[in-house]
A and B are shown apart, each in its own frame.
Chain A
Amino acid sequence: AQRVTQPEKLLSVFKGAPVELKCNYSYSGSPELFWYVQYSRQRLQLLLRHISRESIKGFTADLNKGETSFHLKKPFAQEEDSAMYYCALSVMDSSYKLIFGSGTRLLVRP
């Protein structure tokens, strides 16, 4: 079965501390994974995708097929990073159906 698990509902860190938002997936095919973010009073938006191997707003995520993980990391958290983060798995059948994890709320304290 296709599933995305984000084990932490809430992650609270202090400004300047490293952040790691965990994501594990279950999928028999070749996975495509994404991180979406929802800032307060804003829409859900794409943060980054594993294919591009890019760093957005200081965040990176590496796909680890052996551990079936796609954790989101940032070395030094900023207060403006406080948001809801969703890990998503793209299931390619007739469409790019996105299966979302339950989300992790990141709270960066001053």
Chain B
Amino acid sequence: DSGVTQTPKHLITATGQRVTLRCSPRSGDLSVYWYQQSLDQGLQFLIQYYNGEERAKGNILERFSAQQFPDLHSELNLSSLELGDSALYFCASSVGPTSYEQYFGPGTRLTVT
């Protein structure tokens, strides 16, 4: 077990709604990464936080936002949801800001109907 936890496991919601996905990194890891895995786009990097600060941004839509809290857990907020946002959302963590080895969580499957 890598130690990264994500809640919820599954989420079903309607278009136009807003959801929050939660991630707790491994104990001692300061970096949190968010990825989106969809059937047509593969695994895409969204955003990274390190010790509470945004560190790197990838292909994250403006409708999406994230933050990392003082206890190092992170939340990914998805708003004005569209059908195309249906995907698996993975969180990963690593020790430092530039760690190549990332430990992945089990993912949250989001279904937008």
Query: Residues of A with Cβ closer than 8 Å to B?
Result: 32, 34, 43-46, 49, 86, 90, 92-103
Q: Contact mask B94-113 → A, CB, 8 Å, 1/0?
A: 10011111111111000000
> Across the two chains, which residue of chain B brings its CB closest to A32?
B100
Q: Is the CB of B100 within 8 A of A96?
A: yes
Q: Is the CB of B42 within 8 A of A103?
A: yes
* B45 is an interface residue with CB less than 8 A from chain A: yes
Q: Which residues of A contact B83 (CB under 8 A)?
A: none
Q: Is the CB of B42 within 8 A of A102?
A: yes
Tell me the smallest distance from the CB of A41 to a CB of chain B, in Å: 9
Known: A93-B56, A95-B48, A95-B55. A100 touches B43 (CB 8 A): yes
17 contacts between A and B (CB under 8 A): A45-B104, A46-B102, A49-B101, A92-B98, A94-B97, A95-B31, A95-B48, A95-B55, A95-B56, A95-B98, A96-B98, A97-B45, A98-B45, A98-B100, A102-B43, A103-B42, A103-B43
* B2 is an interface residue with CB less than 8 A from chain A: yes
Q: Is the CB of B104 within 8 A of A95?
A: no
Q: Is the CB of A49 within 8 A of B42?
A: no
Q: Contact mask B16-42 → A, CB, 8 Å, 1/0?
A: 000000000000000101010000001
Q: Which residues of A contact B104 (CB under 8 A)?
A: 43-45
Q: Quick one: which of B60-113 are within 8 Å of A by CB?
A: 90, 92, 94, 97-107
Q: Is the CB of A90 within 8 A of B100?
A: yes
A49 to B45, CA, bound (A): 19
Known: A43-B2, A45-B104. A95 touches B50 (CB 8 A): yes
Known: A43-B2, A95-B48, A95-B98. A100 touches B42 (CB 8 A): yes
Q: Is the CB of A97 within 8 A of B90?
A: no
Tell me the smallest distance from the CB of A89 to a CB of chain B, in Å: 11
Q: Is the CB of B45 within 8 A of A96?
A: no
Q: Is the CB of A96 within 8 A of B105?
A: no
> Across the two chains, which residue of chain A brings its CB closest to B43?
A100
Tell me the smallest distance from the CB of A34 to a CB of chain B, in Å: 7
Which of A34, A94, A99 is close to B45, meaning CB atoms less than 8 Å apart? A99
